[in-house]
Amino acid sequence: MTMALSGQYMTNGLLAAGVLLLKVLAVIMPITVVVAYLTYVERKVIGYMQRRIGPHRVGYRGLLQPFADVFKLLLKEVLVPASANRFLFLTAPFLALVPALATWAVVPFWRGAALANVDAGLLYVLAMTSMTVYGIILAGWSSNSKYALLGAMRSAAQMVAYEIAMGFALVGVIMASNSLNLDRIVVAQAGGLHHWYIWPLLPLAVVYFICGVAETNRAPFDVAEGESEIVAGFHVEYSGAGFALFFLAEYANMILISALVSIFFVGGWLSPFEGLVPILGKPGLHWLALKMAFFLFCFLWFRATFPRYRYDQIMRLGWKVFIPLTLLWIGLECVWKAVGFGPWF
Amino acid sequence: MLAAYLAIPFFLVVAAGIGLFALAAGFVLGPRRPDPRKAAPYECGFEAFEDAHMPFDVRYYLVAILFILFDLEITFLFPWAVSLNHIGTAGLLAMVAFLLVLTIGFIYEWRKGALEWE
């Protein structure tokens, strides 16, 4: 009897685990597809901004280009430099990739649709996004190449500098929402366009997004790669599949930052026409997707238009502009909290 | 409540699985033609002069120390911001005082030149 019962529990447990596994795949698979097409869109958008047409050979208008890229990367030799630390060299891409994908566990796609709808969601996001820097440092150090080490050092100092401003900006969001749960942060912004946090927290939103660009090592903050000075920075020694993993992690992080900005500041899955237009006012995944697409476009737009920052300029911007600005805004929010302000506080 | 966290280990495993799969595919599908020159660290065509694990600038350590200070302060701010509605004006003012002390420390660092990067 007890045997049969425990057997039943076991099957139920296995079934639940199987369903959960399918759900996780249902989140990660679309993300990898979006990553693939983001590389295509990036090349197209930057191409058109520079009056070129971008990739157009593989498939209709080059639409199969990402797949060609994936196959090319997987068919290349995986090189491990002779003087490198082999184990760390092969571990580093995982330390970059796993946090970039695992953070999606707490991202709500619509009301209650986060796979892990946990109360400490925002803490989890911060913890996971901070992990990425280890992948970069390990990659740079274990390669035993001077360019790689230089890129890793630069990237580490830059990422920790911008992480502080990022954290302060998030404190501003929590002061308004009083919750670390991503779902509740969005729900707290319900009630129409003017309830979104971007209005009272505009400087924090700008700081957060720019820090996100810096954290993902994207142009104009891409001194960690800096093709023209240190060839490719921390991943100069990586080829084939190892390089593909870093690439995947970088783009997954871009998509993640776009999702987080949308959730924290512009109401996530909420419609801008809420309470104004009957059908358009309905919340849903498409609104989150649209907002994310806008921020992703900004990533590409920045890359096509801004020249790369000099390293001392990056450090100055992080420490001397963003941190004082976010501290000031937190102080201002304290005042708002005390006297009450608009629909937000 | 803890059951909600169950998805996180699944995510970690699946993400690592994707990485393993890609790396294994690279090792299986890719060619393997070892060559001592190919396995040498890249240095623009020259032979590498020395080990790359050289000492680096002490300013990196300074940045790391400042980072730890500020990051601790941020973790201190999180629980305060979550419970703002329950702690009243006294709680609000206490943190304002703390932030003032923090700002004084920040100004000191700034004036001392710890934030310069020339």
User: In terms of CATH architecture, what is B7-112?
Assistant: Up-down Bundle (1.20)
Largest CA distance in chain A: 74
Give the minimum alpha-carbon distance from B111 to chain A in angstroms, rounded to a whole number: 11
Q: What is the model's pTM?
A: 0.90
Smallest CA–CA distance, residue A282 to chain B, in Å, is: 27
Q: Which of B14, B39, B96 sits opposite A28 (nearest CB)?
A: B14
Contact B4/A32, CB-based, under 8 Å? Answer: no
Residue with tokens 């000031």: A328
**Average pLDDT by consecutive 10-residue portion of chain B (118 residues)?**
80 89 86 78 69 74 84 87 85 87 87 78
The angle that helices A240-265 and A2-49 make with each other, rounded to 10 degrees, is: 90
The answer to whether the CB atoms of B77 and A171 lie below 8 A apart is yes
Proportion of chain B above pLDDT 90, given as a percent:
1
pLDDT tens, position by position, A272-287:
887 777 777 788 888 8
* Strand spans (E) along chain A: none
Average pLDDT score over chain A:
85
Residue A150's closest CA among A244, A218, A231? A231
pLDDT of residue A210: 93
Say whether residue B62 is in contact with chain A using an 8 A CB cutoff. no
Q: What is the pLDDT of residues A96-133, one digit of tens each?
A: 899 999 899 888 988 877 788 888 889 899 888 888 88
* Cα distances (angstroms) measured from residue A58 to each of A65, A67, A96, A212: 5, 9, 29, 32
In whole angstroms, give the CA distance from residue B47 to residue A322. 42
Q: Which residues of chain B does A101 touch, with a Cβ-Cβ cutoff of 8 Å? A: 11, 14-15, 18
Residues of chain A with pLDDT under 70: 1-5, 224-230
Q: Tell me, what's the ipTM?
A: 0.86
